[in-house]
């Protein structure tokens, strides 16, 4: 007999340019939530948005409308008796692109009504934050923990005293770090999304050669936990304008190093100030191996346990939305309104 708390959650994510549906078996308690992935489908729209150099909201909406029924049918084939098994449906209500969010919400409302199951709204950023729980963890998550959410839309530093209680220490005052990667990629004539392209170009710097351009480390020495990446991006623009012959791999690696330095130093400063025992790194930019390894090493040096989602759960997916929904239920937090909230935060 499954215990009373075991829930099968079907989750839907359409906040940006990935259409995703997942089915998760969720059990355990808030001290040790357990997730088993029954199905997890992500359909990326990168190729569609690439010619425009970024995500076009109305194109994203059109693609989500087209993809959602297809993905749902695929999952229905994968999971025998799917509609009987689902206990509840959850959907990202924000933050994200409003037209894109609404497509997921409308689809989820129709589905929940059809199969007569409750519908719960989920916060996309909580999804990123809890993505690491989808995989088996080597270390025990002890609190306080510092959470660093680094995505295309956000850069947030949190102090967490449990999985359900946190305080925002700081966030970006202008561009998100992922946005800076994307914009610098455009400056360097690299395709969208720029993060992975910058990382690839940075890694092409010959072995033994270090990034040598000293780009600014914005807000590094300020006594707060806010970030700013817009000036760093502009410095890259001016540097290339004034030094057009510079090796682009050196520019990419130097920019990446500046961004990583700021993120790492601020996260470690917070860890020291609040005597943290763990660090959680998450969001699309957490795919960056140099960032991951730098924060892992710096954490281990200080005796902190390091947590980050598996690579496939860093960028947008619906499994993380299912995990966030289960944590939300366990925490007995107030339900989110079932309507698109593009500015929802942590
Ligand atoms: O979390 P995510 O999939 O979407 C948002 O919620 O924003 O993050 C997407 C962001 C993009 O800005 C993308 O360029 C960045 O994550 N990104 C990376 C890497 N992979 C994705 N940034 C740096 N290095 C990467 N390897
Ligand atoms: Zn995201």
Residue 258 sits in the same domain as residue 319: no
pLDDT in tens, 153-204: 999 999 999 999 999 999 999 999 999 999 999 999 999 999 999 999 999 9
Cα(293) to centroid(ligand 1), Å: 16
Task: Kindly tell me if the per-residue pLDDT of 5 is higher than 80.
Answer: no
Domain assignment present for residue 335? The answer is no
Residue 279 in tokens: 């660090």
Residue 320 sits in the same domain as residue 281: no
Report which of 65, 51, 53, 1 is spatially closest to residue 27, judged by C-alpha positions. 1
pTM: 0.95
Domain assignment present for residue 90? The answer is yes
Q: Which CATH number characterizes residue 169's domain?
A: 3.30.420.40
Domain assignment present for residue 339? The answer is no
Distance CA 302, CA 235 (A): 32
DSSP string, 170-212: EEBSSS-HHHHHHHHHHHTTPPSSHHHHHHHHHHTSPTTPPP-
Ligand 1 environment, Cβ below 6 A: 16, 128, 151-153, 178-179, 181-182, 193-196, 199, 283-285, 287-288, 315-316
Residue 112 sits in the same domain as residue 184: no
Q: What is the pLDDT of residue 223?
A: 87
Residue 75 sits in the same domain as residue 93: yes
Mutate to test the pocket of ligand 1, among 181, 255, 288, 314 (most ligand atoms within 8 A of CB): 181
Q: What is the pLDDT of residue 281?
A: 98
Domain assignment present for residue 210? The answer is yes
Q: What is the pLDDT of residue 161?
A: 97
Mutate to test the pocket of ligand 1, among 17, 130, 152, 324 (most ligand atoms within 8 A of CB): 152
pLDDT in tens, 287-318: 999 999 999 999 999 999 999 999 999 999 99
Residue 156 sits in the same domain as residue 287: yes
Residue 237 sits in the same domain as residue 220: yes
> Strand order in 155-160's β-sheet?
166-171, 155-160, 145-150, 278-282, 305-307
Mutate to test the pocket of ligand 1, among 128, 187, 284 (most ligand atoms within 8 A of CB): 284
Burial letters 209-229, b for 16+ CB under 10 A, else e:
eebebebebbbeeeeebbbbb
DSSP string, 238-261: HHHHH-TTS-HHHHHHHHHHHHHH
Domain assignment present for residue 37? The answer is yes
Domain assignment present for residue 346? The answer is no
Task: Kindly tell me if the per-residue pLDDT of 2 is higher than 60.
Answer: no
Continuous segment of H or E residues that includes residue 10: strand 7-13
Position in ligand 1 atom list of the atom nearest CA 185? 14
pLDDT in tens, 78-126: 999 999 999 999 999 999 999 999 999 999 999 999 999 999 999 999 9
Distance CA 149, CA 135 (A): 18
The residue whose CA has the least distance to atom 1 of ligand 1 is 284
Q: What is the pLDDT of residue 222?
A: 87
> Which ligand has an atom closest to residue 255 CA?
1
What do you get for the CA distance between the two ends of the chain, in Å?
A: 36
Domain assignment present for residue 61? The answer is yes
pLDDT band at residue 66 under the 50/70/90 scheme: very high
Residue 247 is part of which domain span?
Answer: 141-308
Q: What is the pLDDT of residue 123?
A: 97
Cα(54) to centroid(ligand 1), Å: 12
Domain assignment present for residue 340? The answer is no
Q: What is the pLDDT of residue 1?
A: 44
In the chain, pLDDT over 90 holds for what percent of residues? 93
pLDDT in tens, 18-44: 999 999 999 999 999 999 999 999 999
Residue 185 sits in the same domain as residue 269: yes
Residue 286 sits in the same domain as residue 197: yes
Task: Kindly tell me if the per-residue pLDDT of 3 is higher than 80.
Answer: no
Residue 162 sits in the same domain as residue 276: yes
Distance CA 86, CA 88 (A): 6
List beta partners, residue 145: 160, 278
Residue 114 sits in the same domain as residue 166: no
Residue 34 sits in the same domain as residue 20: yes
Mean pLDDT of all residues in 219-242? 95
pLDDT band at residue 4 under the 50/70/90 scheme: low
Total domain count, the chain: 2
Residue 202 sits in the same domain as residue 291: yes
Identify the DSSP state of 287: G
């Amino acid at each position: 007999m499954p215990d009373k708390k075991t829930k099968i959650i079907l989750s839907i994510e359409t906040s940006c340019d990935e259409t995703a549906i997942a089915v998760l078996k969720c059990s355990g308690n808030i001290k040790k939530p357990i997730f088993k992935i029954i199905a997890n489908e992500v359909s990326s729209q990168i190729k569609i948005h690439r010619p425009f150099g970024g995500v076009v909201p109305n194109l994203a909406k059109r693609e989500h409308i087209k993809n959602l029924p297809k993905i749902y049918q695929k999952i229905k084939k994968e999971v025998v008796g799917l509609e009987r098994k689902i206990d509840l449906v959850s959907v990202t209500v924000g933050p994200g692109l409003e037209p894109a969010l609404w497509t997921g919400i409308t689809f989820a409302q129709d589905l929940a009504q059809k199969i007569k199951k409750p519908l719960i709204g989920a916060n996309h950023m909580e999804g990123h934050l809890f993505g690491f729980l989808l995989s088996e963890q080597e270390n025990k998550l002890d609190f306080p923990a510092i959470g660093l959410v680094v995505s295309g839309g956000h850069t947030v530093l949190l102090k967490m005293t449990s999985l359900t209680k946190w305080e925002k220490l700081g966030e970006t005052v202008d561009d998100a770090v992922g946005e800076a990667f994307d914009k610098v990629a455009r400056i360097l004539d690299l395709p969208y999304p720029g993060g992975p392209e910058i990382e690839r170009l940075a890694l092409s710097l010959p072995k033994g050669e270090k990034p040598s351009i000293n780009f600014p480390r914005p807000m590094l020495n300020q006594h707060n936990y806010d970030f700013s990446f817009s000036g760093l991006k502009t410095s890259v623009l001016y540097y290339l304008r004034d030094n057009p012959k510079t090796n682009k791999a050196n520019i990419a690696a130097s920019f990446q190093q500046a961004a990583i330095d700021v993120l790492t130093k601020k996260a470690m400063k917070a860890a020291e100030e609040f005597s943290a025992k763990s660090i959680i790194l998450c969001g699309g930019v957490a795919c960056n191996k140099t960032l991951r390894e730098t924060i892992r090493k710096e954490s281990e040096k200080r005796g902190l346990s390091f947590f980050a989602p598996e690579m496939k759960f860093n960028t947008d997916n619906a499994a993380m939305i299912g995990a966030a929904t289960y944590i939300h239920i366990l925490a007995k937090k107030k339900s989110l309104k079932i309507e698109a909230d593009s500015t929802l935060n942590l």
